[in-house]
Amino acid sequence: MSTRSIVHVYQPPTSGSERTLLPLHGTGGDERDLLPLARRLDPRAGVLSPRGQVLERGMPRFFRRLSEGVFDLDDLRQRTHALADFVAAAAATYRFDPSHVTAVGFSNGANIASSMLLLRPEALDAAVLLRGMVPFIPDQPLRLPQTRVLISNGRHDPMVAAAQTEQLAAILESAGASVTLAWQNAGHELTEQDLVDAAAWLAADHSSRRTTTPSV
């Protein structure tokens, strides 16, 4: 796959950083939507920010859905593999290390990032999942022993139930991922505390299997 297959922005790292952030926008966003957030989380990291290739009522998304919260699983799997292939092609084109890619996904972007963890775990070193839910239940056992994941969801989110959040954490933990679950006193919108927690998590050296931060 060529990098020209997906509209995107690439910004190289500074100060010798090995990390590349992969911002993945929510429904209606685009490749520039999360650039300020990425810079806030890690100013030194490289940034590869793609635009979702599916349109829903004119709004970009990363995969199709049949209704709110009901995903087109065939399309999700196809788009997940295409996105992972794009990241690999971009690593070769822009000469960044494909073993140090951290997804930063919001809503629909968090869901395809979770799908990448489940279908193409080699594509991501870590993931920040903001208001994400379970994309699908894996058919086979997974192995994610070196993968770190932050899930930051709202206690009052009308779109993502607490049980969905816990189930996503459990699926990733069962595969061996180091999961941090941050509960925010919020709905589906992002808050300042999401950014504070995510920036601190990215900067920290995680050694525990799972930690949970309380609502703020």
Tens digit of pLDDT per residue, the chain (216 long)?
667 789 999 999 998 899 999 999 999 999 999 999 999 999 999 999 999 999 999 999 999 999 888 999 999 999 999 999 999 999 999 999 999 999 999 999 999 999 999 999 999 999 999 999 999 999 888 899 889 999 999 999 999 999 999 999 999 999 999 999 999 999 999 999 999 999 999 998 544 445 555 554
pTM of the entire structure? 0.93
Q: State the burial class of residue 195 (Cβ atoms within 10 Å of its Cβ: 0-12, 13-18, 19+).
A: middle
Catalytic residue among 107, 115, 152, 178: 107
Catalytic residue among 42, 157, 194, 197: 157
Q: From CA 109, how far away is CA 124, in angstroms rounded? A: 14
Rounded-to-integer distance, Cα 26 and Cα 28, Å: 6
> Does the active-site annotation cover 107?
yes
Q: Are strands 126-130 and 20-24 parallel, antiparallel or unpaired?
A: unpaired
Instruction: Give the β-pairing of 46-50 and 20-24.
Output: parallel
Helix, strand or coil for residue 127? strand
Range of the domain at 31: 3-213
Q: Is 215 marked active-site?
A: no
pLDDT number for residue 213: 59
In degrees rounded to 5, what are phi and psi of residue 184?
-110, 145
Q: What are phi and psi of 26, to 5 degrees?
A: -85, 180
In the residue annotation, 157 being an active-site residue is answered as: yes
Residue 45's CATH number:
3.40.50.1820
Q: What DSSP element (H or E) covers 20? A: strand 20-24
Residue 140 has a pLDDT of: 82
Domains held by the chain: number: 1
Contact (Cβ atoms closer than 8 angstroms) between residue 148 and residue 126: yes
